[in-house]
Structure formats: structure tokens, C-alpha cells
């Protein structure tokens, strides 16, 4: 495609290995006419494609297992890819080696078992931990917002139901009627005043004058609790290991880091990095270099 340089393709292959558990690259040779058209000299081209293009079909009659066609000895001879042609998705077989024995398809992955044909995402082990961590953060944030918004207590000296029952018990005497009327007028005046006041909590908080005898208290929230950080750090530790980076690099939190702990992080990650370089990056580079050397020898 001519969009990326070789180091970028190696980076993409490593990311494919993390996400899909495998990387897939096809080798091609551009004719002299096409090279003149684009103004380039080298005909060797590395086409990195997504591993999802490799079909999941299986047919023992063809020796096909999850998109890889094998010979009777179990060696891959072709790869069946789903490609778009004139707007229609077609399945096409790509030979693993050409007539001269050169490797034309690089399908690299780190197998777990001797019978493995396809790779598995390195994030599988961290999917559950990530979902748990995401749920933990969401619930903590939502609970904190709810407590912040509703952690308010409005205390009022307004009479309770017992006071109204006591007024009713005064009977229908003249004094009782006058007392009830005066209390009703007072209570209605207080309610009218309270209707004019407002307590608003949101993007534009506002508290107007309260009614006589009312008091507004803001309560403290208990979110996040002391158990949030230990649980969050434990979940993030597994996710960072699956990706292949340190916990501090993943969380951007270097609190409590020491010289010895930083060295231990590097020492524990070094085997992971070198393994992925040897199993994923090196084969991708090797096949490209081999084809380029063949081209240089052939063109003199």
C-alpha cells in the first residue's frame, strides 16, 4: 500500500499480537511498470493485513483448520483469507511458499500447545479484570455523585402531625377556632415564603433564603472508601502484565516507587519484551529482508 515504513509495520504486528494473538503479513512483488508509475525502485513489498481476514473455516477433507490449509504432514501450505473484490467479500487462498520455495505468507503467533494453529489474544486473561475495574470505577463515581448531590439535610421547626391533632382536640369553642385560624394563617404565610425560596444543586448551585426556623446542613460523603485503591491497583496489575508493561507505566502513578522497585519492574518485563521480539517482530523483519536480498541478487 505504500503507507507505512517497516518499523511502523513491526509496531502494528506487535499490537496485532496483543489484540488478536497473531500477526499476518503477505509478501508481494511490484512490476517494473508499476514501480515507474510510483517513482520507486524496490519491487519487494510487505503487506500487513489484519488477522481477522484469516477465515475461521475448518474442513478436514481439505486439510483446512481455522483458515490454514495443511499438507498430510501437518505443515501449512496455504492461508484462506476473506478479501473484498468489487464490493463483494470472496475467499481466496494464498500459498505459503512460491515455486522457488520462498515464504510468501508470515503468520506469526506464540503457541501455547504443540497443536495450535492460531493465536489467542493476550488480553483474554485481563478481560474480566478490566470489566471489574471499569465497574468499580463507574459505581464509585456514580455513588460519589449521588452522595454529593443528596447528602443534604434540611431541618425545619415546622409543626408535626401531632401538633395538628392537638389543635383538632381543642374542640369547636370560640377560643379553639380563633387559635386554629391564627395558626393556619401563620402556617400559610410560612409556606408562601418557602415557595419563593429555592435549593438547587447542579452545574449552577444556588441556595436562596430559607423559611423561618429552617436550617440546611451539608453532610460529608464516604466515597471512595479506603478499600478502593487496593482493589483498583490489584485489578490494574493484571491488566498491565497482560499488555506487557509495568503497572506504573499503565496507571501513570509512580507513588511509592523506589530505585529497587523500578529495577525489579524492568527485570520482570525484560523476558516478556524479548520473547515478543523474538516470536513476533523478528519473523516479520526476517521474511522482508530475505525477499529484499533475493531482489538485490536478481537485479545485480
Answer yes or no: is 30 within a domain.
yes
pLDDT of 176 over the 70 cut = no
- How far is 205 from 152, CA to CA, in rounded Å? 13
Domains: count for the chain: 3
| Same domain (yes/no): 281, 292 | yes
Per-residue pLDDT band for 130 (boundaries 50, 70, 90) equals confident
pLDDT of 13 over the 90 cut = yes
Supply the pLDDT for residue 12: 93
E strand or H helix at 262, and its extent?
A: helix 259-276
**DSSP structure class, residue 170:** T
Answer yes or no: is 211 within a domain.
yes
43-61 per-position pLDDT tens digit: 888 999 999 999 999 998 8
Question: 248 or 205: whose pLDDT is higher?
Answer: 248
Supply the pLDDT for residue 212: 59
| Same domain (yes/no): 113, 165 | no
- How far is 122 from 88, CA to CA, in rounded Å? 32
Distance from CA of residue 220 to its chain's centroid?
Answer: 33
Lowest mean pLDDT among 185-189, 250-254, 255-259, 284-288: 185-189
Q: How many C-beta atoms surround the C-beta of residue 84 within 10 A?
A: 9
pLDDT more than 70, % of the chain: 74
| Same domain (yes/no): 38, 19 | yes
Answer yes or no: is 239 within a domain.
yes
- In this structure, the strands spanning 206-207 and 199-200 are antiparallel
Q: Flag whether the pTM goes above 0.85.
A: no
Answer yes or no: is 252 within a domain.
no
Answer yes or no: is 97 within a domain.
yes
CB 67 within 8 A of CB 81: yes
State in Å, rounded, how far the first CA of the chain is from the last one: 26
Angstrom CA distances, 287 to 102, 104, 123, 280, stand at 9, 8, 27, 12
Supply the pLDDT for residue 115: 87
Q: Cell 444543586, residue?
A: 201
- How far is 21 from 260, CA to CA, in rounded Å? 32
Question: 146 or 174: whose pLDDT is higher?
Answer: 146
| Same domain (yes/no): 16, 92 | yes
Supply the pLDDT for residue 256: 83
- Torsion (CA) 284, 287, 292, 293 in degrees, nearest 10: 130
Per-residue pLDDT band for 108 (boundaries 50, 70, 90) equals very high
Answer yes or no: is 187 within a domain.
yes
236-277 per-position pLDDT tens digit: 888 888 888 888 888 888 888 889 988 998 898 899 889 999
Residues spanned by the domain of 231: 123-150+227-243
Mean predicted confidence (pLDDT) in 97-120: 91
Answer yes or no: is 138 within a domain.
yes
C-alpha radius of gyration, the chain, whole number:
36
Amino acid at each position: 500500500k505504500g503507507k507505512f515504513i517497516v518499523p511502523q509495520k513491526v509496531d502494528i504486528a506487535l499490537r496485532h499480537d496483543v489484540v488478536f494473538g497473531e500477526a499476518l503479513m503477505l509478501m508481494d512483488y511490484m512490476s517494473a511498470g508499476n514501480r515507474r508509475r510510483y517513482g520507486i525502485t524496490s519491487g519487494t513489498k510487505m503487506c500487513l493485513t489484519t488477522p481477522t481476514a484469516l477465515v475461521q473455516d475448518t474442513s478436514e477433507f481439505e486439510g483446512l483448520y481455522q483458515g490454514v490449509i495443511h499438507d498430510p504432514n501437518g505443515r501449512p501450505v496455504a492461508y484462506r483469507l476473506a478479501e473484498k473484490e468489487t464490493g463483494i467479500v470472496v475467499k481466496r487462498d494464498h500459498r505459503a511458499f512460491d515455486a522457488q520455495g520462498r515464504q510468501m505468507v508470515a503468520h506469526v503467533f506464540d503457541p501455547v500447545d504443540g497443536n495450535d494453529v492460531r493465536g489467542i489474544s493476550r488480553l483474554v486473561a485481563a478481560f474480566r479484570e478490566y470489566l471489574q475495574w471499569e465497574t468499580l470505577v463507574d459505581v464509585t463515581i456514580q455513588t460519589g455523585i449521588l452522595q454529593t448531590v443528596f447528602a443534604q439535610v434540611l431541618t425545619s421547626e415546622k409543626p408535626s402531625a401531632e401538633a395538628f391533632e392537638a389543635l383538632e382536640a381543642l374542640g369547636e369553642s370560640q377560643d379553639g377556632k380563633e387559635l386554629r385560624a391564627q395558626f393556619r394563617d401563620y402556617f400559610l404565610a410560612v409556606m408562601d415564603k418557602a415557595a419563593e425560596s429555592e435549593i438547587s444543586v447542579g452545574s449552577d448551585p444556588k441556595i436562596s433564603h430559607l423559611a423561618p426556623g429552617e436550617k440546611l446542613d451539608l453532610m460529608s460523603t464516604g466515597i471512595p472508601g479506603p478499600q478502593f485503591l487496593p482493589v483498583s491497583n490489584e485489578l490494574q496489575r493484571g491488566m498491565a502484565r497482560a499488555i506487557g508493561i509495568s503497572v506504573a507505566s499503565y496507571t501513570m502513578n509512580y507513588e511509592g516507587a523506589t530505585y529497587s522497585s523500578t529495577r525489579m519492574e524492568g527485570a520482570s518485563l525484560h523476558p516478556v519484551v524479548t520473547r515478543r521480539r523474538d516470536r513476533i517482530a523478528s519473523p516479520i523483519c526476517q521474511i522482508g529482508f530475505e525477499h529484499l536480498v533475493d531482489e538485490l541478487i536478481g537485479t545485480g
